[in-house]
Structure 1
Amino acid sequence: MRAAPVRHEPTAASAGSDSVPGSDDDAPRARRRAAPARRSPGRGQRRGVLLLAVAVLLAGVLGGAYYLFRSLTAAPDFEGAGEGDVVVQVADGDSTAAIGRTLESSGVVASVAAFLEAARQDDRILGVQPGSYQMRARMSAAAAVERLLDPEARVGQLEIRGGVQLDDTSAPDGTVAPGVLSLVSRASCARLDGAESCVSVDELRAAMAETDPAELGVPSWALDAVAAADPVRRLEGLLVPGVYEVEPGRSAVEVLQALLATSTAQLEASGIVSGAAAMGSSPYEVLVISSLVEKEGITPDMPKVARVVYNRLGAGQRLELDSTVNYPLDLQALRTTAEDRAAPGPYNSYATAGLPPTPIAAPGREAIAAALAPEPGPWFFFVRCQTDGTSCFAETFAEHTANVALARENGAF
């Protein structure tokens, strides 16, 4: 009987394949099962874009909040160049803040703070001078600063020079020199309520002639002489050379009062009151003599010219000065004519002895000083003998005649 075949069961070593479970051949498969899943392409980029968008949005929100805060806390300010006409006064010693307060109270700027902020941008604001300025209402602070720095904005400035008289004077060549009244009228001009406004020469002359001199502010030491003078000449010489401020919008009387107050202070500071007393003269007489000196001599010669005047007055001689003859004439020349010198009148010092009734021009500081301290000397005559205006002085008429001949030779006569 055939023996049944023996059936072999697969062993652990041979079952299923040639590889042995758990051997090194199975390691890659195990690692693949343990590795995490790989990210899909573009996922990190999308996250970066999202973060950037959030940052931009946050910056916009914060920026908007900042500007909203600034707009809520910024100083009030107008926009643009303004409207209408406003004249403001900058007082002597005003700080930038004080100027800002003036502008705010006048309706020029919306706030002092806005003006100060604009002023910080231009150091020239520190050089703004006292006086009147033509501005506009409701100006931006920056526009107000720019306008204050514009020379055209300055109004009310008046300069009187030595030798100028109250009324305009004409020369033979046709030129006209404006007098004090014309200069004051021009300085009073400004735009008010949309129109140019000035105090006219006629208004000034009427105020001078019709207002009580004491009310105008004529100093007490000049009141009697001024009251006795021709009303349209009574302020001659009392407005001395210098720079003045004329506030636009004031009446003729108010303008003259302000000018006389300033001028009187300058006159009295020169020592004219005490100096005249020391010389045995009145202050007004010294003022008249100062005006003659101003018109007759250049500065280096003024003390000698003053001495000639005092010597002639002391000797009872007529002054015989062409400047006094010229004073009331419409047309004035350096040398007067025989006809002019023969015409009678209180200002004709060839025909009338003594001083003229008023000064004949505005005397400067040097002329007043010369009248208060004339140079000692025996001179009774002088003539301009050099083309630069220098005079030659003489004690006798014979010497004077020789000096006149020299003046003719030099082309100065």
Structure 2
Amino acid sequence: MKKTVVVFIVAGALAAGYFGFKGYVSQAKGPVDPSSDKVVEVEIPSGYATPQIASLLSEKGLISDEKVFRLVSRVEGKDSGFKAGVYSLSKSMSLEEILSSLTEGGMDIGVETFTVPEGYEVRQIADLLSEKGLVDREKFVSLTRDASAYKESYSFLDSVPAGMGLEGYLYPSTYQVSEQEENKEEAIVKMMLDEFGSVYTKELEAKAELLGLDTNEAITLASIVEREAQVESERKTISAVFHNRIREQMNLQSCATVQYILEERKPNLSYDDIAIESPYNTYIHAGLPPAPIASPGKASIEAALDPEKVDYLFFVAKGDGSHTFSMTYEEHLKAQNKNQN
């Protein structure tokens, strides 16, 4: 008899919970403000997924619960049919009416497409965007100077030292930004950080930890590999040389780090160049620089975290983009003389 009572109690609780949840969903599907006659303009950018759209609608006060919006749009099979555009919506619209509007399509919005090449520095990205008329160069650069301003939203920046900017974390890729975007500088910075977050996965983070590297060290090394490697097949070999030199407590002696200081990609560095006092000068300072020197692509990030198993400690450019690798300094000198002749 007691078991029967318990069953009825549990069943009753489940039923109450179900009907309570159903009632909540039903309420959340209704208008936020049935009496409102105010039109709210909403721009859904190209590429926005359901969670981003839900967040945007919530910010505009058009829906009462983001989770209900996502649930209903998924259950009704509408989350794959949302279209970019500018929509005239209202708080007096029900969730169903908003969903229907978003799948029918709003006014077309113009978009600007731009591509940031792998290995670009922040200053070069700013130049590219400025030349396209997308940003105010100084405003864009100022937004990238302090990584700490973004750490709350992007945990991968946690290991960036205090006072450092976003160099290395503005992921090189092709992007689109709305012509009607009011603050393109901020939108583009966030867009590029979002893309970095999608590329630098937990798996890559775990590989870095196995190598004893935090994220900033991993991306710093990847940025050097990006700038040094011109031949795809050599990325992991170049990565191995730097790992080996760190293990042997040798200075990295990367020309790319000095070129970063000079803000000039000189084909040949002078003795004065490699003697410049800077924490980025790996000819005179041991270990990695304090932060990345450019934006590495995925291939260089993966190479930095999966170096080839070789004993090379030196490499010298051949002049055709490839390199000669050596295990001893004597071999390296011979390679230098051969490549110079």
TM-score range, shorter chain: 0.5 to 0.7
Asked if 1:180 is matched to 2:125, the reply is: yes
| Greater shift in the superposed pair: 357-366 or 249-258 | 249-258
Match of 2:315 among 382, 385, 391: 382
- Contact kept, 8 Å, 1:216 with 1:253, in 2: the verdict is no
Match of 1:202 among 135, 138, 143: 138
Q: CA deviation at 1:363?
A: 0.9
Q: Using the alignment, how far apart are the partners of 1:394 and 1:215 within structure 2?
A: 41
- 2:150 partner letter: A
- Contact kept, 8 Å, 2:145 with 2:166, in 1: the verdict is no
What does 1:82-231 correspond to in 2, within 5 Å?
A: 89-91=45-47, 99=83, 102=85, 105=88, 133-134=109-110, 155-167=111-123, 179-185=124-130, 189=133, 198-209=134-145, 212-214=148-150, 217=153, 219-229=154-164
Secondary structure of the 2:242 match is helix
User: Which structure has the greater CA radius of gyration?
Assistant: 1
Q: CA deviation at 1:368?
A: 1.2
TM-score (norm 2): 0.66
- 1:235 partner letter: L
Partner of 1:237: 168
Partner of 2:35: none
Q: CA deviation at 1:390?
A: 1.1
- Contact kept, 8 Å, 1:216 with 1:256, in 2: the verdict is no
Q: Using the alignment, how far apart are the partners of 1:276 and 1:306 within structure 2?
A: 13
Match of 1:273 among 193, 205, 208: 205
- 2:192 partner letter: L
Q: Using the alignment, how far apart are the partners of 1:214 and 1:92 within structure 2?
A: 21
Change (3 A) 1:281 1:105: same
- 1:236 partner letter: E
Q: Using the alignment, how far apart are the partners of 2:152 and 2:125 within structure 1?
A: 16
Q: CA deviation at 1:407?
A: 1.0
Q: CA deviation at 1:287?
A: 0.8
Match of 1:246 among 177, 181, 195: 177
- Contact kept, 8 Å, 2:204 with 2:305, in 1: the verdict is yes
- The one-character-per-residue Cα deviations of 1:63-116 (angstroms, maximum 9, x if unpaired) are xxxxxxxxxxxxxxxxxxxxxxxx984446999x965x946749xxxxxxxxxx
Asked if 1:282 is matched to 2:214, the reply is: yes
Match of 1:344 among 277, 281, 299: 277
Question: Looking at both structures, which has the greater relative contact order when contacts are Cα pairs under 8 Å and sequence separation is at least 6?
Answer: 2
Asked if 1:391 is matched to 2:323, the reply is: yes
Q: CA RMSD in A?
A: 2.9
Partner of 2:28: none
- Contact kept, 8 Å, 2:150 with 2:157, in 1: the verdict is no
Q: Using the alignment, how far apart are the partners of 1:327 and 1:211 within structure 2?
A: 19
Q: Using the alignment, how far apart are the partners of 1:255 and 1:399 within structure 2?
A: 47
Q: List alignment gaps of at least 5 residues for structure 2.
A: 1-42, 50-77, 90-107
- Contact kept, 8 Å, 2:170 with 2:189, in 1: the verdict is no
Secondary structure of the 1:349 match is coil
TM-score (norm 1): 0.55
- 1:243 partner letter: T
Secondary structure of the 2:206 match is helix
Q: Using the alignment, how far apart are the partners of 1:185 and 1:89 within structure 2?
A: 21
After the TM superposition, list the runs of 4 or more consecutive aligned residues in structure 1 that deviate by more than 4 angstroms: 91-95, 103-106
- Contact kept, 8 Å, 2:240 with 2:309, in 1: the verdict is yes
Change (3 A) 1:393 1:90: closer
Q: CA deviation at 1:286?
A: 1.2
Change (3 A) 1:182 1:299: same
- The one-character-per-residue Cα deviations of 1:184-218 (angstroms, maximum 9, x if unpaired) are 4456x4xxxxxxxx43111112222367433674x
Change (3 A) 1:363 1:349: same
Matched residue count: 251
User: Share of identical aligned residues, percent?
Assistant: 25
Q: List alignment gaps of at least 5 residues for structure 1.
A: 1-86, 107-131, 135-154, 168-178, 190-197
